[in-house]
Structure 1
Amino acid sequence: MVDVSERLTFFAALFNVDENPEAGMWYLYGTIILLCIVVYKLGFAKKLPPLKSFIIYLFLILGCTILTFLGVFLPVAEGLVVAAVILIIYKIRLKQQKKHEEVDGVS
């Protein structure tokens, strides 16, 4: 017999999806939504009118529903964490490069 708790991803095990599925799935859903929003804002967001932004976030949240079910046994949230870290590093380096170019351009 297969032990389900051995196959859970890090976040699914952290939120005890196997022992308390209702609360654990809501926590996993919230985590995936938060991480998707962070990745979207860091990598893809453009300045949009409020209604278009609302529609984008609505579909993002609806898509996260499917990702949550996949995220119990597949590393969805973990992949989003990695993507967020990479995008944060990219944004920091881009800001440093622009700052360095401004200093060199003024001198």
Structure 2
Amino acid sequence: MDNQQLQEADLEGYSWLMQATAENPWYGLLAYIAIVILAILVFNLGFARELPILKKVVVYIMLIIGCFVLWLMEFAFGAPIIVVLIISALILAIYRYRLYRHREEKKEG
């Protein structure tokens, strides 16, 4: 019992992801996968252009490698990377929807 309390006391100053990963090591991997998926979504909504397949593969590989740095910032420092990516995806999705609606109205009128 004292050993468990000691671990909880030691984890008190760590980030939420580090605490969750101490309880279940799979949470760290799931957080990394979530960051990769959200980063790909944000990239596609805001910045992607039509590229040849080989260039697209290189871009996504570099994106996956770069997401490790984002995961490390979330894990070690507690930076709200996942939340920022969710908010970015929502804002870009709203922008794309409004742009689509504007183009449709322009086409009709």
Matched, 1:89 2:94: yes
How much has 1:51 moved relative to structure 2? 0.6
- Distance, in Å, in 1 between the alignment partners of 2:96 and 2:86 is 15
Matched, 1:30 2:33: yes
- Distance, in Å, in 2 between the alignment partners of 1:100 and 1:87 is 20
How much has 1:24 moved relative to structure 2? 1.1
Q: Unaligned 5+ residue runs, structure 1? A: none
* Kept after mapping to 2: 8 A contact 1:4/1:18: no
Pairing 1:1-107 to 2, within 5 Å after superposition: 3-4=12-13, 7-8=15-16, 12=17, 16-20=20-24, 22-72=25-75, 73-104=78-109
- Distance, in Å, in 2 between the alignment partners of 1:18 and 1:84 is 29
Identical counterparts, % of pairs = 31
Q: Report the number of matched residues.
A: 98
> In the TM superposition, what whole-angstrom CA distance separates every residue of 1:17-45 from its partner, at most 9, and x where no partner exists?
2312x311100000000000000000011
Q: Unaligned 5+ residue runs, structure 2? A: 1-8
Q: What TM-score do the two structures reach when normalised by structure 1?
A: 0.83
Which structure shows the higher helix fraction?
2
> In the TM superposition, what whole-angstrom CA distance separates every residue of 1:56-77 from its partner, at most 9, and x where no partner exists?
0000000011111111311001
- Distance, in Å, in 2 between the alignment partners of 1:81 and 1:55 is 24
Q: What TM-score do the two structures reach when normalised by structure 2?
A: 0.82
